[in-house]
Amino acid sequence: MSTQTLHAPGHSPAPKGGKVGGGLLDPKQMIKSLPDALKKLNPANMWRNPVMFIVEIGAVFTTVLAVLDPSIFAWAIVVWLWLTVVFANLAEAVAEGRGKAQAATLRAAKRDTTARRLKSPDDHSQWDVVGAPELQQGDIVIVEAGEIIPGDGDVIDGIASVDESAITGESAPVIRESGGDRSAVTGGTKVLSDQIIVQITQKPGESFVDRMIALVEGANRQKTPNEIALNILLAALTIIFLVATATMQPLAIFSKSINPGVPNSLALTNDGVTGIVLVSLIVCLIPTTIGALLSAIGIAGMDRLVQRNVLAMSGRAVEAAGDVSTLLLDKTGTITLGNRQAAEFVPVPGVSEKELAEAAQLSSLADETPEGRSIVVFAKKAYGLRERQPGELAHAAWVPFTAQTRMSGVDLDGREVRKGAATAVMKWVRDHGGHPTDEVGHLVDGISASGGTPLVVAEKGRVLGVIHLKDVVKEGMRERFDEMRRMGIRTVMITGDNPLTAKAIADEAGVDDFLAEATPEDKLALIRKEQEGGRLVAMTGDGTNDAPALAQSDVGVAMNTGTSAAKEAGNMVDLDSNPTKLIEIVEIGKQLLITRGALTTFSIANDIAKYFAIIPAMFAAVYPGLDALNIMRLASAQSAILAAVIFNALVIIALIPLALRGVRYRPSSASKLLSRNLYVYGLGGIIVPFIGIKLIDLLIQFLPGMS
């Protein structure tokens, strides 16, 4: 089975850190989506959208009336009312149709994949072959080079190079190994070398691929709280306009009774307003534009995340990203380049640099982090320390780094050497009967004040000195954080460094606040404190120790390279494992909310022009004074009503590209966004219909039955 990159049809992979220009409407895509739009005419589907359900009922009613009393005007109204409903469904069908091709590819990949399931966890030579969909949580499978990983899980034995391009679109392979934060693997990816034993962590039907299929098809898209609230508002407005329109009938009957000399017309008879005109009035006055586009806007927002290689578990997560007011960002790899390098060994008085370098190297031999490797290399190059042979370290007891102890080291031949955060190492020295001198504190403070990271090295009972690690803030981060401030978002840097180091980096990067020497408990407490103040919090994480904080945050973005626990706890997964993408996710969320608000404003505003088109056309003959409201000077009552109905349908099609692409977002304050929204889409929503209806009236006024 070949691996295929998951991207929306018609879009190339998003450049790393670049903007995605998705959303342009492809006419071929509209044609392909037309059958789905027609299927959505089923009333069982339409009732979920009360605005468009009313339009469909009106279309059915006018069809019956046109059959009973046919005329060109009546059938023209019928055709355009049905087109209004179809165009509304087409907007949603096009948005959903973007994921059909990817979903088909992913579903076929899953269906065709087989797995070698071990009969016994302890015996790797005995297995049976089963289909990937048959795997259960807890099953253990063996995967060799050239084979597809059959399901989501954790590597429990072995190490391998894995091609994840089928999921992430990134061609470079990644390393997956047992233990640590690089053990999680995803079903559908391919092992390129060696062999791994994988324990399945997914439940049937709930794998990463299953969720991605549901996402790109729009099958699991539930309405978000804001969307539900807007639907309630639209339903309320619809009811109000229905009641208001119902009053037109007795008013028309009364008006005709006191003005019997007024001739009957297609709009007004002795029995009041004709049914077709009454339905046209209702359809033009209720907010059909936003009612038609609301679902497409939400689906398109999730689609923009897919184009960014971010999997959102629900639309609620995308919407919450737009309302985020606090952003928690890890320092390493997000704000800084993350490749801190050993630059200097600073011994305390009485200790030589070479003695400190030897101890620092010894304590770092088992440290596979970039920092640990840089310490070993720097000690070798700067002080000529030889490499130790495997036999010399056979009896070494390595002490791994943990978030709780914040230090690591080794016990070898009676020596106990530790390196790590200053407070943790000095506490360890005191616990072993030592007395750290004030010089250590001065060295730590000096390195921290310069923006470096100090690691204290100690041997049982005494401090040897400090390792100076240097880190670099990523280019352009200060400008990005300035944008966040203009958006009203508070940024907080999370780091395990001491407060002085954290402050130096925070000042250079331009974040609003920082949390130093952070433990998992500290992160969780900070998130809860922010949420108690009414703020929505977003954060990224990749390790099991990040899972509680990811679960607590309103927007938790887990890295795809992280553990299964982290991915289960978050409500988004970044397939590229790029922590800085959290900023872009927030921007996409805000763009979704702004697009919805802009089109809602436009939809309600353009009803004003329709008042000036239809109301004078209906009653000007009875009340000549109303002719003053016919400021567009429309040709006749029939052409005015039909022009309004046609414009009402065409504006939906015209706005589909904007709904899919989203309104362009510029970081600014809420008041400025509101002003721009009212100026562009409020005023524009009033002016555009006047122009559009008048142009349509000029085109149709000479058609038969329009006089």
Whole-angstrom distance, CA of residue 206 vs CA of residue 629: 60
Question: Tokens at residue 202, please?
Answer: 């997914």
Per DSSP, the three-state class of 453 is strand
CB 3 within 8 A of CB 190: yes
Query: Is 238 marked as binding a ligand?
Result: no
Of 154, 163, 210, 330, the active-site residue reads 330
Was 367 annotated as part of a binding site? yes
- How far apart CA 534 and CA 529 sit, in angstroms, is 9
Q: Are strands 537-541 and 555-559 parallel, antiparallel or unpaired?
A: parallel
Element (H, E) at 256: helix 248-258
Spell out the residues 6+ positions from residue 27 whose beta carbon is closer than 8 angstroms to its own: none
207 marked as part of a ligand binding site: no
The answer to whether 408 is annotated as binding is yes
For residue 456, the Cα-to-chain-centroid distance in whole angstroms is: 41
Give yes or no for a contact between 562 and 540, defined as CB atoms under 8 angstroms apart: no
Alpha-carbon span 636 to 613, nearest angstrom: 10
Closest CA to 254 of 630, 613, 619, 612: 619
One DSSP character per residue, 11-63 reads -PPPPTTS---TTPPPHHHHHHHHHHHHHTTSHHHHTTSHHHHHHHHHHHHHH
Q: Name the nearest CA neighbour of 357 among 465, 471, 470, 443.
A: 465
Per DSSP, the residues of 340-401 read -EEEEEEEPTT--HHHHHHHHHHHHTT--SHHHHHHHHHHHHHH-PPPPPGGGGTT-EEE--
Q: Is 649 annotated as a binding residue?
A: no
546 carries a ligand binding annotation: yes
Does 87 appear as a known binding residue? no
Q: At what angle do helices 225-246 and 248-258 cross, to 10 degrees?
A: 20
Residue listed under structure tokens 């399945």: 200
Does residue 319 contact residue 222 with C-beta atoms inside 8 Å?
Answer: no
d(CA 529, CA 311): 28
- Residues near 371 by Cβ (< 8 Å), separated by ≥ 6? 340, 341, 342, 455, 469
The reply, when asked if residue 303 is annotated as ligand binding, is no
Spatial neighbors of 614 by CB under 8 A, at least 6 apart, are 280, 281, 284, 640, 641, 644
**Residue 559, SS3?**
strand
| One-letter amino acid of 513 | D
| 413 flagged as catalytic | no
C-alpha angle 652-643-260 in degrees, rounded to nearest 5: 135
CA–CA separation, 257 and 437 (whole Å): 105
Q: DSSP label at 338? A: S
Annotation-wise, does 449 bind a ligand? no
Which DSSP string corresponds to 663-676? PPP----HHHHHHH
Crossing angle of helices 607-619/275-285, nearest 10°? 160
Q: Please enumerate, by residue number, every residue annotated as part of a binding site for ATP.
A: 367, 371, 401-408, 419
Residues annotated as catalytic are 330
Q: Please enumerate, by residue number, every residue annotated as part of a binding site.
A: 367, 371, 401-408, 419, 542, 546
Q: Please enumerate, by residue number, every residue annotated as part of a binding site for Mg(2+).
A: 542, 546
